[in-house]
């Protein structure tokens, strides 16, 4: 299934939310994920093993080294000003997602994470801006094509005010509430 063009999506979006209704009515094949990113429906096939391994390695480090009690959700739908995004991983304050619908506002989200795959440009730009506009404090990007790990922080005026990037293999400091250095040597 291919993504709608931006012009087509805008035409539908201008007609009383029909694009959102069509998006919410999608029946995607098992394992695929559908997102509404800046007026475009984007359907992504199941991730490869390297992608999933990177996510697992980050999650293990967070729960092993983070002093705070928090939860992790893989595939949680978030409502952001520019659409409906499904991060590869979402770290939240403990119990923040209890009782939430499949799509929810990012209240209680501490950090979202994306691992690039077939559309790295969406992760680098559109999703970064969407997460910042939603006020999500931290956005961790494992950019496999660039062989870099990037942490965006301090959301302000629709973007992140601070960005720290390291080549794979160098540690990346994660600020509070995480408060440790993320080992990146086996993430791409």
Tokens matching residue 121: 């440009």
| Amino acid 141: pLDDT | 98
CA distances from 161 to 34, 80, 142, 151 (A): 29, 18, 19, 11
pLDDT tops 60 at residue 9: no
| Amino acid 1: pLDDT | 33
116 in Cβ contact with 144 (< 8 Å): yes
47 Cβ neighbours under 8 A, 6+ residues apart = 88, 115, 117
Q: What is the DSSP letter of 171?
A: -
pLDDT tops 70 at residue 4: no
| Amino acid 67: pLDDT | 77
Q: Taking the domains of the chain in order of start, what are their residue ranges?
A: 1-46, 48-182
pLDDT tops 70 at residue 2: no
User: What average pLDDT does the structure give for the chain?
Assistant: 89
Q: Which of 125, 103, 156, 114 is nearest to 38 (CA)?
A: 125
The class that CATH gives domain 48-182 is alpha beta
**pTM for the complete prediction?**
0.86
> Per-residue confidence at 18, pLDDT binned at 50, 70, 90?
confident
pLDDT tens for 106-121 read: 999 999 999 998 789 9
| Amino acid 16: pLDDT | 53
Q: Which H or E run includes 33?
A: strand 33-37
Q: Which residue has the higher pLDDT, 83 or 187?
A: 83
In 3-state terms the chain splits into helix, strand, coil percentages (rounded to 5) of: 25, 35, 40
Least confident among 7-16, 87-96, 178-187: 7-16
151 in Cβ contact with 125 (< 8 Å): no
Q: Which of 104, 109, 75, 74 is nearest to 92 (CA)?
A: 109
| Amino acid 17: pLDDT | 74
C-alpha–C-alpha distance, residues 163 and 24, integer Å: 33
Whether omega for the bond prior to residue 85 falls within 30 degrees of 0, making it cis, is: no
| Amino acid 48: pLDDT | 87
| Amino acid 125: pLDDT | 95
C-alpha–C-alpha distance, residues 29 and 32, integer Å: 6
pLDDT tens for 49-105 read: 899 999 999 999 999 998 789 999 998 999 999 999 999 999 999 999 999 999 999
C-alpha–C-alpha distance, residues 73 and 180, integer Å: 20
């Amino acid at each position: 299934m291919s993504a709608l063009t931006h012009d087509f999506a805008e035409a539908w979006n201008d007609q009383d939310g029909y694009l959102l209704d069509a998006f919410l009515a999608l029946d995607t094949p098992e394992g695929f994920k559908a997102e509404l990113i800046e007026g475009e429906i984007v359907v992504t096939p199941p991730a490869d093993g390297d992608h999933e391994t990177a996510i697992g390695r980050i999650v293990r480090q967070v729960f092993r080294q983070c002093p705070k009690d928090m939860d992790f959700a893989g595939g949680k739908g978030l409502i952001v000003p520019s659409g409906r995004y499904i991060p590869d991983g979402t770290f939240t304050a403990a119990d923040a997602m209890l009782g939430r619908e499949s799509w929810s506002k990012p209240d209680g989200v501490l950090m979202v994470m994306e691992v690039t795959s077939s559309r790295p440009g969406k992760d680098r730009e559109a999703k970064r801006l969407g997460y910042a506009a939603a006020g999500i404090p931290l956005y961790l990007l494992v950019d496999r094509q660039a062989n870099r790990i990037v942490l965006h922080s301090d959301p302000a005026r629709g973007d992140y005010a601070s960005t720290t990037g390291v080549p794979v293999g160098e540690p990346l400091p994660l600020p509070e509430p995480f408060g440790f250095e993320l080992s990146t040597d086996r993430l791409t």
